[in-house]
Amino acid sequence: MALSASRAMSKGVVVTVPVLVLSALVAAVFLFFLFSSLSSCSCPSTSGTPVNDVSNAVSVGGTGVSDSNSGGFTPLSTRKEDVDWVKSQIIANGLHMQDNVLRKGINPRTRAQQLEDLRQFKGISHYEGDGSDNHTALPCPGELLVEEHHSNYGEPWAGGRDVFEFLAQSVQLRPDSQVLEIGCGTLRVGLHFIRYLNPEHFNCLERDELSLMSAFRYELPSQGLLHKRPLIVKGEDMDFSKFDSSTVYDLIYASAVFLHMPDKLVWVGLERLASKLRPYDGRIFVSHNIKFCSRLGGDECTKRLTSLGLEYLGKHTHDSLLFNHYEIWFEFRRNKA
């Protein structure tokens, strides 16, 4: 009995070996086709960035964009390695801050003195005639040429870059983003947005005529940004009727503007702009304070914002790169389509 059982077992082994081999071959073929299909899958990238949009891809942390055409990288903000580099260059050259006094080839003057020299002597080489005898394509007033308008603010002109870096980082700005500034003045901040954004993607409403002249007749030409064609409109009372009604903004900001306006007018502006803000992802940033809101009281302010489809997200501070100063910003978003 034991012998017959042993024979039966050995027979069973002999019969099942070919079956096992065949099964393994079938499994191998199946796995080959399975992996082939997975490798050709058009799944979204893990970073969430469209595969076909490499040229405008925002880097990790939203610090800049890579450019496939130039192979370079444009950071949105100054990085630690950038600061370390410039410090090393100052040390390597043995540089120390000096008094700005008369020295070979350098004749320090105030803006007023420079303007007087410009009016009296024009330039070392210049055309005497007017009209056809003057080859200046876009004559600029002397006051603008000596940059008197750079002193129109309560802080250094360089602070405009600080504002740009904070806002651009906050919304992960892309070249194709649509931006609206309320009160862009002489483009202390706007220049940085215009330079970074695609043409016609920066809009501004400004009431001050001298500021607008400074922007059009000096800042844009001197910075080589005329080709960017920003839409800068002279207007008051939060009137946005001259802007394209179909434009949806990724960022709307007001730097030190709302605190100079009546609360009622601020609310009028928010009511007109709420539907122009991209739902959920778009942002409104207001600097310094939001007394137009706090004066109503917390519950009433929230109710008023909700009626406009807006939501308050919080308060932020951002340090200056070049001087002892920080900005205070208040963030809002559109919470429904």
**CB–CB of 108/102 below 8 Å?**
yes
pLDDT tens string 236-280: 999 999 999 999 999 999 999 999 999 999 999 999 999 999 999
How far, in Å, CA of 335 to CA of 272, rounded? 16
pLDDT tens string 198-209: 999 999 999 999
How far, in Å, CA of 222 to CA of 320, rounded? 25
Residue 139 tokens read as 């004559």
pLDDT tens string 11-63: 444 445 555 545 656 566 555 554 444 333 333 333 333 333 323 333 333 46
Give Cβ neighbours of residue 49 (< 8 Å, ≥ 6 apart): 57, 58
Domains of the chain: 156-328 (3.40.50.150)
